[in-house]
Amino acid sequence: MPISLLLHVDIPAALRPAFEQAGFRLCPALRENEHSPILPADGAFDPSSINAVLTIGSIGLSEAHMAALPNLRLICCQGVGYEKVDLDAARARGIMVANGAGTNDTAVADHALALLAAMVRDIPGLDRAVRRGEWQQARQTRPQLTGRRVGILGLGNIGLKIAKRCAQGFDMEVAYHNRQPRADSELRYCDTVDALAHWADFLVVCTPGGAGTRHLVNARTLEALGADGFLINVSRGSVVDTGALIDCLRRRAIAGAALDVVEGEPEVPAALTALDNIILTPHVAARSPEALEAMFARVLDSLTCYFSGRPVPAPVPGMASSTAA
């Protein structure tokens, strides 16, 4: 009998046969509004038939949604994020939660460095100036990356890869802030976010999202970064106080920012897009062909392992590695 998988996010057509051949029935989701239970689209499937959900961290799954799916056994998060999955509710109901840790780290780290280089060297601004015929006017000096100080906020898998690129590719000094120092890292540790920002020329945000990190980068942090400092965010928009960022960019209290994520996305404040010292990309850091293939392969692996009685490859922290058996 097929195992029914409710899809909050679509599986590319080329990858669907692998899921179907493995015995999974794909059920597109329908959500009337953000507070309503997420149910199979068009009433095509009985909610009680759903055994697993594929979601992403920014959509998640609430306790009410879990209650609407009484036979739910497994929640798979496509990427590494799981901030809007109610983990307490999942544990109470015996539902396993797994994510895609390690599947998109390389793509996100690459994008972070691309944003950093583009912002510091003002590549978009220079391109626009040349297109306007302002060749001579645009030939202003810009900071170099080599030899600078980069602060990594969140030294997880992605943070480690960013640190490696900065240190080995651009001979940068690297420091970081986590809730606790990493015992396996010899990098400089700063015990507060503001201390890291004060030390750094470039502050790269790659910490998880969620209530615990909301506005972790605030007005005080940005002031500590200073008028010559640059902010890069490839984590979640909620980590940065958008109002404080807009104010600091307007006043040139920091030199610039490059964001792949925005608080309240996909809506972007007009006050943000009006600024000339910011680069914005539409949450695409993890969207390389290689990363997408790896993420969906992990989802299929998690589903197959769980429903065949084997531990899932990447249970989220705090989840016992239980199985369906």
The pLDDT value given to residue 163: 98
Spatial neighbors of 278 by CB under 8 A, at least 6 apart, are 119, 249, 256, 257, 258, 259, 272
Is residue 121 in a domain? Answer: yes
The pLDDT value given to residue 33: 55
The pLDDT value given to residue 318: 77
Catalytic positions, written as ranges: 236, 265, 283
Q: CA 224 to CA 193: how far, in whole Å?
A: 9
202: phi then psi, degrees, rounded to nearest 5:
-125, 130
Does one domain contain both 14 and 65?
yes
Q: CA 107 to CA 237: how far, in whole Å?
A: 18
Is residue 323 in a domain? Answer: no
Task: Strand 173-177: give its sheet, edge to edge.
Answer: 188-189, 173-177, 149-153, 202-205, 230-233, 256-259, 278-280
Does one domain contain both 148 and 186?
yes
User: Domains in the chain: how many in total?
Assistant: 2
The pLDDT value given to residue 138: 87
pLDDT digits (tens, 9 = 90+) for 3-46: 999 998 889 999 999 999 999 999 988 765 554 557 666 666 78
The pLDDT value given to residue 44: 66
The pLDDT value given to residue 78: 92
Is residue 315 within 8 Å of 96, Cβ to Cβ?
yes
Taking CA atoms, 107 is separated from 59, 293, 294, in Å, by 21, 12, 11
User: What's the token pair of residue 207?
Assistant: 């910490």
Is residue 312 in a domain? Answer: no
Last residue of a domain, one of 280, 296, 318: 280
User: What's the token pair of residue 299?
Assistant: 């989802």
Does one domain contain both 130 and 217?
yes
The pLDDT value given to residue 73: 96
Boundaries of domain holding 61: 3-101+288-307
| Signed CA dihedral, 144, 233, 216, 183: sign only | negative
Is residue 263 within 8 Å of 283, Cβ to Cβ?
no
The pLDDT value given to residue 14: 92
Q: Please tell me the total number of residues recorded for the chain in this structure.
A: 325
The CATH number that applies at residue 196 is 3.40.50.720
The pLDDT value given to residue 47: 85
Low-confidence ranges of the chain (pLDDT < 50): 35
The pLDDT value given to residue 58: 85
